[in-house]
A and B are shown apart, each in its own frame.
Chain A
Amino acid sequence: MIEDDIYRTSSQFRLWSYTESSLKSLRTKTNHIASERVRAALRRARERHASSTPSATGTPQTGSDVEEKDIECLTPEEELVLVRYYCEKTVELGETYRPPLPTNVRVSLPTTGFTQRLEPFFLRGQPKLTSITYQATAIQYLRRFYLTNSPMTYHPKSIMACALFLATKTDNYYMSLRQFAEGIPGDTTADDVIAPEFLLMQGLRFTFDVRHPFRSLEGGVMELSAIAQGQAKPAPHLPHHTPESLKQGLLSIAPPPVPSTSITDRIGRAHGATRELLKSAAQMTDAYFLYTPSQIWLAALLLADRPLAEFYLDTKLGGPIDPTAMETEPSNLQNPLYDLRTKLLQVLTDCGALLQSYTPLSSDPDQMKILKRIAKKLYHCQNPEKVNLKRDSAVPRSTPAIDAGAVTSESETERLAKKRKLEMEQKQRGAHDMFGPELVLDRTRH
């Protein structure tokens, strides 16, 4: 199976595919290292603060003990919720750049005789295809970046725009940085966008290719449409299939979850529903880390229209029991691919369950409440030495990066330490119930 061999050489498989347990332990490890560093950085900040204002700290010993306890770091689960929220935000931001459509779509250009027959499906899917792909790439960049980086070290809001911009470059939807920055709501400058680029690329381990399930979905839908029109190309290893028998098979599958007027209509609906899942649930869950692109779109199709998806699999793998085969050749009763089919269906069911588990954060008040709590918590455990990415990245061009953080952001550290102290005092006065959360949210949304 050369296609599988090729996939196994992809960076997505080599570097970005995990089992559930390896994914979990990696996130735990990242969180652990980042927490240690946050605590150390805050300790350093306090020490500097203490030495610069010796009179303010009456009994330093007990004072630092109290603060030490207060540095409560995010858990890996909390980090994940936060990253997911900013992935949703990335989609919103990406919508800003929806490309102007080629108004004059020419069909007879050289070399693209490509599937003119099935054009309606393409045109239906087409308008959003580019923007989806690069937004999805940006989301996967964020998700990959935060496997080995913590939001406590680099706040997602400072990485998000850069991920989207990098995706425009790597996905051939390039616009100038200036143009890109102008499109961002708020006062984000071009420098803000580009500052973490190198950091991001390093976190991506310099692999920019993301294999999405979108294109294979288009291919599968084209195949189904061809079958519906009696123009199927039967699989060579299933010789008893003919274009006509496949067409009849397709027409006689169990009814769809939502009634449809025709088989074309049914395929169209399944196509749309699957695309929606690929755009949302597939992006916001760990699907890309755990499954291959084909597994993801097939799982989504199963959720959208189970009989249709099973029929499609049967055209490749043979059904559990094939009635036509029974009539002509009893020995075909035993489908040699049956084991494979069973195994695949199990994987697809697992993947489908993962996709189904997703609900958008912003539409769920309970989840938003949790998110607010996490955002507030993060405010207190953000690594002060990594706050200013612009300076972090501008300086290391001439000086080694390792020292740069500590050297350059000293004043920033102090500023944050002061601020934290102020807030702490506020907290002790019992004012935080009314004003605390609002302030924190204001900052994260800025």
Chain B
Amino acid sequence: MALSPFASRSPSVTVASPSSALRLKAAATHHAPGQAVTAKSDPNPERELTEQLNDDVRRKYVKGKKLGEGTYAIVYLGHFRDDPSSCVAIKKIKVNAEYKDGLTMDAIREVKYLQELSHRNVIALHDVFSSKDQNLNLVLEFLPGGDLEMLIKDGDIHYGVGDVKAWMGMLARGVWFCHENFVLHRDIKPNNLLIAADGEVKLADFGLARSFADPYLNMTHQVITRWYRPPELLFGAKQYSGAVDVWSMGMVFAELLLRVPLLAGMSDLDQISKICEAFGTPTEENWPGVTQLANYVTDKAVPLRGREFFLQQFPTAGPVGADLLMSMCVLDPRKRATALQVLQHKWWATEPRPTKNEDLPRKSGTKKMGDDLARRGGETDDGPFKNAARQLDFGGMK
């Protein structure tokens, strides 16, 4: 495998709050093998070893005030017991009485993948513990800066192409890292891109994530919020790759530039026709095999858009930026850029330079956030993975 071209290898070390982040890193990732299981509390014959280990983890944190509540989880502010200045978000997953099959799939996915992904641009899961009423508590990195959707929608915030470059760079590094670990995120959109106190963008909400399927094995196409869903999934492809996330990234890129969603389809069919209008109609010529996909439909034949279209539509990105966007919006997923190719694009090295984190625009502090936790995750609720909102809401924190 090639060496990491851009990725920082230090997971979740934030610059602005070194006290907490560095401590967390030390606590979360520096286990030597062989010492993996060592209960710190004195051996107490009245408690199982597993219980003792769990108690050790639980005692590391103090749960504070409630930040938000939804059907899926309650989020609390918390901190390390021995360092009250360190902030964490403790997400307590509710036992779903309607769901009889044990822990829900989205909770399982979120825990499974966040346990493995340790990267500056992926929300850090510091610990998981159970409280005595058999609830699952996820100790997550505290991200008080809102999300990219808030910034896009906030008319009082002005940002330029250097800012977009910085945000997109952080997003692309996070996605690259997921793919390098064979994980598909499958729900990339602006409100899943959370912002840390130091301005760093973090990929969050892994409730739809899964690892790459083995060749010939099927996956569901009912994933990714519609506006960010690539044509192969709309056409019902059951086998797909990281290219689906790259398409979503392209849509986020376009939305950051336009400040409105580029392709806001009213239905899946409408989404397909909006894609055709914008980029051209998928055909056997530009995408061999596309007509074999289960749900392949087209109504009008729009020729493929060339470079001029992107230059015209996204003048702020500049010719090189438009070029990058175009490579992310290629209809045929086999010809679409990979996350690595996105990172290797020359746009990052052309002027203007990406804005430094400390100079990035922030959300206006007084803005009252809605209760994100009540919001449903994605628009894929009609799929087999009916999920309640998984979003984190740090809005209760002033």
User: Which residues on A are within 8 Å of B, measured CB to CB?
Assistant: 2-3, 5-6, 9-11, 13-19, 22, 26, 29-30, 33-34, 36-37, 40, 102, 105-106, 108-115, 122, 126, 129-130, 133, 147-149, 153, 165-166, 169-170, 172, 174, 176-177, 190, 194, 197-198, 201-203, 205-209, 215, 393, 396-398, 400-402
- Closest B residue to A109 using CB positions: B239
- Whether A29 and B49, one on each chain, are in contact in the complex, defined by CB atoms closer than 8 angstroms, is yes
CB distance from A83 to the nearest CB of B (A): 15
- Closest A residue to B57 using CB positions: A205
Give Cα distance in the complex from A172 to B180, angstroms.
19
CB distance from A36 to the nearest CB of B (A): 4
Q: Which of B31, B48, B128, B180 contacts A148 (CB 8 A)?
A: B48
- Whether A15 and B50, one on each chain, are in contact in the complex, defined by CB atoms closer than 8 angstroms, is no
| Chain B residues positioned under 8 Å from A22 (CB to CB) | 34-36
- Whether B108 and A110, one on each chain, are in contact in the complex, defined by CB atoms closer than 8 angstroms, is no
Whether B158 sits at the interface, judged by CB under 8 Å, is no
- Closest B residue to A193 using CB positions: B102
Selecting from B74-82, B215-223, B352-360, the interface stretch reads: B215-223
By DSSP majority rule, is chain A's interface helix, strand, loop, or mixed?
A: helix
Write out, one digit per residue, whether chain B residues 255-295 have a CB within 8 A of any chain A CB (1) or not (0): 00000000000000000000000000000000111101100
Whether B155 sits at the interface, judged by CB under 8 Å, is no
| Chain B residues positioned under 8 Å from A393 (CB to CB) | 134
- Whether A26 and B102, one on each chain, are in contact in the complex, defined by CB atoms closer than 8 angstroms, is no
Selecting from B83-91, B110-118, B339-347, the interface stretch reads: B110-118
**With A202-B130, A397-B133 as given contacts, are A106 and B43 in contact (CB-CB < 8 Å)?**
no
- Closest A residue to B282 using CB positions: A110
Q: What are 27 of the A-B contact pairs (CB < 8 Å)?
A: A2-B9, A5-B9, A13-B33, A15-B37, A17-B36, A18-B36, A26-B37, A30-B49, A106-B239, A106-B292, A108-B292, A109-B237, A110-B240, A111-B239, A111-B334, A148-B37, A169-B102, A172-B219, A177-B101, A198-B103, A201-B136, A209-B113, A396-B133, A397-B95, A401-B132, A402-B47, A402-B132
- Whether A102 and B216, one on each chain, are in contact in the complex, defined by CB atoms closer than 8 angstroms, is yes
**With A112-B239, A206-B115, A402-B132 as given contacts, are A19 and B102 in contact (CB-CB < 8 Å)?**
no
CB distance from B124 to the nearest CB of A (A): 11
| Chain A residues positioned under 8 Å from B333 (CB to CB) | 110-111
- Closest B residue to A32 using CB positions: B43
| Chain A residues positioned under 8 Å from B115 (CB to CB) | 11, 206-209
| Chain A residues positioned under 8 Å from B34 (CB to CB) | 17-19, 22
- Whether B134 and A401, one on each chain, are in contact in the complex, defined by CB atoms closer than 8 angstroms, is yes
| Chain B residues positioned under 8 Å from A9 (CB to CB) | 11, 29, 116-118
**With A14-B29, A110-B237, A148-B48 as given contacts, are A206 and B36 in contact (CB-CB < 8 Å)?**
no
- Whether B36 and A33, one on each chain, are in contact in the complex, defined by CB atoms closer than 8 angstroms, is no
- Whether A33 and B134, one on each chain, are in contact in the complex, defined by CB atoms closer than 8 angstroms, is no
- Closest A residue to B244 using CB positions: A111
- Closest B residue to A196 using CB positions: B102
Give Cα distance in the complex from A113 to B217, angstroms.
14
- Whether B50 and A202, one on each chain, are in contact in the complex, defined by CB atoms closer than 8 angstroms, is yes
**With A170-B108, A197-B103 as given contacts, are A203 and B50 in contact (CB-CB < 8 Å)?**
yes
B residues 122-164 in Cβ contact with A at 8 Å: 128-130, 132-134, 136
Q: Which of B3, B111, B132, B216 contacts A208 (CB 8 A)?
A: B111
B residues 195-242 in Cβ contact with A at 8 Å: 210-211, 213-219, 232, 237-241
4 other A-B residue contacts (CB within 8 Å) besides A165-B102, A393-B134, A402-B47? A14-B36, A15-B31, A206-B136, A208-B115
- Whether B9 and A149, one on each chain, are in contact in the complex, defined by CB atoms closer than 8 angstroms, is no
Give Cα distance in the complex from A206 to B139, angstroms.
12
- Whether A208 and B288, one on each chain, are in contact in the complex, defined by CB atoms closer than 8 angstroms, is no
- Whether A148 and B108, one on each chain, are in contact in the complex, defined by CB atoms closer than 8 angstroms, is no
| Chain B residues positioned under 8 Å from A401 (CB to CB) | 132-134
Whether B181 sits at the interface, judged by CB under 8 Å, is yes
CB distance from A225 to the nearest CB of B (A): 15
- Closest B residue to A174 using CB positions: B105
**With A201-B103, A209-B115 as given contacts, are A148 and B292 in contact (CB-CB < 8 Å)?**
no
Give Cα distance in the complex from A246 to B288, angstroms.
34
- Closest B residue to A122 using CB positions: B215
- Whether A37 and B46, one on each chain, are in contact in the complex, defined by CB atoms closer than 8 angstroms, is yes
| Chain A residues positioned under 8 Å from B129 (CB to CB) | 206
- Closest B residue to A13 using CB positions: B33
- Whether A177 and B102, one on each chain, are in contact in the complex, defined by CB atoms closer than 8 angstroms, is yes
**With A40-B45, A109-B237, A170-B108 as given contacts, are A130 and B116 in contact (CB-CB < 8 Å)?**
no
| Chain B residues positioned under 8 Å from A6 (CB to CB) | 180-181
CB distance from B268 to the nearest CB of A (A): 17
CB distance from A429 to the nearest CB of B (A): 35
CB distance from A441 to the nearest CB of B (A): 28
Give Cα distance in the complex from A111 to B216, angstroms.
11
| Chain A residues positioned under 8 Å from B287 (CB to CB) | 110
Top 10 closest pairs, chain A to chain B, by CB: A17-B33, A206-B128, A36-B45, A22-B34, A208-B112, A111-B241, A177-B101, A148-B49, A197-B102, A111-B333
- Whether B216 and A122, one on each chain, are in contact in the complex, defined by CB atoms closer than 8 angstroms, is yes
**With A9-B116, A18-B36, A122-B216 as given contacts, are A37 and B48 in contact (CB-CB < 8 Å)?**
yes
Give Cα distance in the complex from A269 to B104, angstroms.
41
CB distance from A341 to the nearest CB of B (A): 20
- Closest B residue to A14 using CB positions: B31
